[in-house]
Structure 1
Amino acid sequence: MPGVPWSPFGPGIGTGTSARSGRRSTALDGSGPRDILRSARIRRRRPDVSADALAEAREQADGRGVGQRLVLREEDAGAFPSERGFDVVVSVGATHAFGGLMGTLASARRHLAPGGRVLVGDAYWEAEPSAEARQLLGEYEDLSSTVDRVVADGWTPVFGHISTRQEPDDYEWHWTGALAEWALDHPGDPHSQEALAAADRHRSQWLHGYRGCFGFLTLVLRPGGSGTAVSRVGSFG
């Protein structure tokens, strides 16, 4: 099945996480930005519970000439041990695995070396969500409230990227399109109709449910700071 090319990382994100070469990083999201690994010249460890996903990551890393800097472990990211801290901890689009954004940051903090940075990506409400959107995606807050929560938790944003509308649109079209293409190309497969129905259902949920209110934010964070967020006028979180 074709891969999905969209990445939520802006052109400055790699710079924000690559203060020096020889850094060690880990991804707590089962995926993470391969381009950062290449541009930042860092060594990286990645836990995942999927052997197939790890094999794909190894193949892609070797193809990009960075395989020697990647260590893959088949295990639950939530229980991932570390002999020493990492300079960069990555978790993008997987905060649900840790009970939400705050749980993800708590886990990242445990793996972070002194002077290290966290690259975290999560959804936020770009506009007032409908009841259907909340039911589909869960509870999020608006952009300013999301950043305020991070700051209040003792983190300082040093860089960030707010995904454009086109970026998640591309992701959704490729996600549903890849699934539909596979189903149409394999009509005799016992899972073909199920896959086609899943693509149709997801596309409908996106277009009718959350496209107009879903936003995605990626932040580069360092621990420390005042822990005090500036008061806001209002929100719809």
Structure 2
Amino acid sequence: MNRELISHLAHTHHPVAAPLADTSVARLLDRALPRGTERVLDLGCGPGEWLLRALRGRPGVRATGVDISATALDRASRTAEALGVADRLTLRREPAAEYTAPHPFELALSIGATHAFGGLLPTLDALGAHLAPDGHVLIGEGYWEHPPTPADLDVIGPLADLPGTVDQVTAAGWTPVYGHLSTREERDDYEWSWTGSLAAWALDHPGHPDSAEALATATAHRTEWLRGYRATWGFATLLLRRTGG
């Protein structure tokens, strides 16, 4: 079962592919789009939830999403048509790290997709390359809320703690002007939704050739979470501006 299909199914009931509630997403976008006329870029946009929410209720906003998943981009396109915002949304299927922008953007974002660039700092470099003067970057990244176990490191990979994460950002020339730390409730809701949506699909399609693998994937993920990184992992979404710029 390919990773693209797993992600599509797992985010059925939590279309924002990060542990943030709808109210948190709305608050961050309100801070990031004060004028309502900005051009927005999402590198690693998936099904485009951040962009679609930025476009709704802001008729002056235009948005571009970049992702390698045809399934996710097709879903974004269909949703945009249904919402009546398709004329203000451009979708590009290509690796986010290879995207060349035709113009600068007032907001460049990447939430939970720093792996596509090789980490937090390369992601900031990529976002900054597309940013207009005085523009904002919105970036979402995991951090260690408590010291990780070796098993946690195997599952999640190397991360800093929250102060260390902010230190990396500021040392790279960025200043946080707002931020959100996902609550335990948000993180739990995301994980229950991810594993539950995938498991429910498997149970609803017992004859499908991918059913057993989908259920096994959901079970393994749930075990890694409950017995491991649930106690140690956090998620921060930071709104940044260039220091001195």
Correspondence 1:37 to 2:47: no
State how far apart, in whole Å, the 2-side matches of 1:72 and 1:151 are.
Answer: 31
Q: Shift of residue 21 of structure 1?
A: 2.6
Question: Where do 1:1-237 residues align within 5 Å?
Answer: 1=9, 2-5=12-15, 8=20, 10=24, 11-31=26-46, 33=50, 34-40=52-58, 41-225=60-244
Contact 1:126 1:143 in 2 (8 A): yes
The structure with more helix, counted as a fraction of residues: 2
Q: Which 10-residue stretch deviates more, 5-14 or 110-119? A: 5-14
Q: Shift of residue 39 of structure 1?
A: 4.7
State how far apart, in whole Å, the 2-side matches of 1:44 and 1:88 are.
Answer: 9
Q: Alignment length, in residue pairs? A: 226
- Report SS of the residue matched to 1:71: strand
Q: Which amino acid aligns with 2:180?
A: H
- Report SS of the residue matched to 1:129: coil
**So what's the TM-score if we normalise by structure 2?**
0.87
State how far apart, in whole Å, the 2-side matches of 1:124 and 1:37 are.
Answer: 29
Q: Shift of residue 5 of structure 1?
A: 4.5
1:2-42 residue CA offsets vs partner (Å, 9 max, x unmatched)? 33245526242112211323211110122351323325542
User: Quick one: structure 1 residues 60 and 115, their matched pair in 2 at CA, closer, same or farther if it must change by over 3 Å?
Assistant: same
State how far apart, in whole Å, the 1-side matches of 2:82 and 2:186 are.
Answer: 25
1:229 corresponds in structure 2 to none
Q: Which amino acid aligns with 2:173?
A: G
Q: Which amino acid aligns with 1:24?
A: R
Q: Shift of residue 168 of structure 1?
A: 1.2
Structure 1's unaligned 5+ residue stretches are: 227-237
**So what's the TM-score if we normalise by structure 1?**
0.90
Q: Which amino acid aligns with 2:231?
A: G
Contact 1:16 1:158 in 2 (8 A): no
Structure 2's unaligned 5+ residue stretches are: 1-8
Q: Which amino acid aligns with 1:12?
A: R
Q: Which amino acid aligns with 2:195?
A: T
1:145-198 residue CA offsets vs partner (Å, 9 max, x unmatched)? 111110111001111111000111111111111111111111111111111111
Q: Which amino acid aligns with 1:115?
A: D
Q: Which amino acid aligns with 2:146?
A: A
State how far apart, in whole Å, the 2-side matches of 1:147 and 1:86 are.
Answer: 23
1:85-137 residue CA offsets vs partner (Å, 9 max, x unmatched)? 11110100000111100010010111111111101000001111111101110
Contact 1:5 1:171 in 2 (8 A): no
The structure 1 segments of at least 4 consecutive aligned residues displaced by more than 4 Å after TM superposition are: none
